[in-house]
Amino acid sequence: MTGARLQPGIYHSRGRRPPPNFRLVFLNASPGTVPDDIAGALEALHQMLGGLPQGEVRELDGQPDDHVEHSAEQFAGLEHMFAFGPRLFDDRLHDPPLTTVDRPDFLAYLPDDGPFPALRWVDGHAVSNLGEADVAIQLTGERPSGVNCAAVEIWKLLVDLGTPLSVVATFDGFGRHDGRGWLGFHDGVSNVEVSQRLHALAAPGDPDWMEGGTYMTFLRLAVDLPAWRRLSRTEQELIVGRDKLTGGALVATQRDENGEVIPVPAEPPGEDATDRQLSDHIDPPQTTDPLVEASHIHRANQNRASPSAPGALRMFRQGYDYLETLAGEEPRLGLNFVSFQRDLGIVQHMLHLPGWLGDVNFGGPADPGEGEPDQVRLIGVVAGGFYAVPPDDHPFPGAGCFPAPAAGE
């Protein structure tokens, strides 16, 4: 398992951190589009996007060398990744079909009345889910202007070529240097160990065109920050499963003389931490305290096993926060939950099973007892979708899904 076939944009290797800027661009094909047209457009996009970090901007072809350097700096670290949604395979929407390869079983639409038992659409149902499209292009880079300008370059190219692909939606996000999210807690600490990530990521050949690729989950999650801020620090820590200040995982709870719950965190690893302390910080020891077991970090990794155990349901997360507005009664902000995994069934199980994330919205006990945090609907889905991320290929990732027409056709 070398991982050599994964597309760029999945930062799983040791020492590689996701760049701080993120944008997803969603494209749909117009009715009547034929596979050859899609292939031509994707190849052109792949070539154009690949040139941007070298300062190759279509409209600026021929600019002086020092200006080319400025353009290259503008697009520093830009990487793009192609992904295909269930819509691409939907013959009810595409006549003729856009592709004849098999749709992976779990590459399905998010249900209108869900999308999951405890993680619901913000408006109660998917009025117009903008997160599902034929094609998604993930852009990541060092500069906000880089990913934003790259998205506009996508639009320009599609317009200029007159292709049947058009941009239907786009979402942005940013990474944080402090490793925390909107909830104020450390986020992403418990991600899969570096040496295990390829086991979590690399898809099997079912269907065969996906072998060596991976699958992406995208959920734009609105966070109800006012509701979160109404909770006490203790309640927040019990829901998350970590100490808010140190990031240390909770290992137990106690009760004071009034019956109030007191979270007991592990000591965070210091400079002289042993291997065990470091490992325990990243992947906290299992707990037998039911209240701690009900916290978010334990629900998301209930079985505490590596990705080589299929029942562990492990995924590699690479999320980005977003802020839309502070105007109005409540701020509109949240998390672009992005995960990559070898099989989308993993996500379905995790978000349906009680004890995991199927019976609570985020964390905490599903049926709280005296002194335990009440269930709060903290997050809701604004948009989202499942995507197949085909292995890297020539002349573009996923090219094999659009076979060239036979001579004479």
Partner 1 sequence: MRAAIEKHGPNPCVLTMPDERTPHSTAVDWVGLPARVVECATRSRALDLLDSAGGRALQEEYVEWRTVRDGVGVRRVEITTEMGEYWRVLAAHEPERLLDLVAEFSRQEDIRPDEVFGGLNPLDPSSTPEEREQAFASAMLATDDPNPYNDGRLAICCLSRSANTLRALAGMIAASTRILLTKDDVTDRVRCLTSAEAIPLLGDAGQVGRASDPVLIERLMRLAYERRLVALDDPVGVYVHSVEHSRLRTPDGGATPSDWFAFSRGSPPDETADGKPRWQRVCLEVPAETGWTVGDLVDSATGQPIRYGGQIAEMVQVAVIFRVSDPHAAAVDEPTLMQLDGVAELQCVDVVDLTEQVDSDHSDAL
Q: For binding to partner 1 (CB under 8 A), which residues are involved?
A: 14, 86, 105-106, 108-109, 111, 113-114, 116-117, 193-196, 204-207, 275-276, 278-279, 285-286, 288, 290, 293, 302-306, 308-312, 345, 348-349, 352-355, 358, 367
Residue number, 52 or 312, with CB nearest to partner 1: 312
Cβ at position 57, least distance to partner 1 in Å: 38
- Residue recorded with tokens 């060092």: 142
Cβ at position 105, least distance to partner 1 in Å: 5
Residue number, 287 or 336, with CB nearest to partner 1: 287
Measured between alpha carbons, how far is 315 from 198 in angstroms, rounded to an integer? Answer: 10
Q: Which are the contacts of 330, defined by CB distance < 8 A and separation ≥ 6?
A: 224, 225, 226
Cβ at position 196, least distance to partner 1 in Å: 7
What is the CA angle 304-305-308, rounded to 5? 160
Contact (Cβ atoms closer than 8 angstroms) between residue 221 and residue 118:
no
Cβ at position 275, least distance to partner 1 in Å: 4
Residue number, 40 or 117, with CB nearest to partner 1: 117
Per DSSP, the three-state class of 77 is coil
Cβ at position 119, least distance to partner 1 in Å: 11
Residue number, 198 or 231, with CB nearest to partner 1: 198
Cβ at position 347, least distance to partner 1 in Å: 9
Contact (Cβ atoms closer than 8 angstroms) between residue 22 and residue 174:
yes
Element (H, E) at 21: strand 21-29
Residue number, 143 or 352, with CB nearest to partner 1: 352
Residue number, 53 or 365, with CB nearest to partner 1: 365
Q: Show contacts of 50-54: CB within 8 Å, 24+ apart.
A: 50/80, 52/78, 52/146, 52/150, 52/153, 53/77, 53/78
- Residue recorded with tokens 């889910």: 129
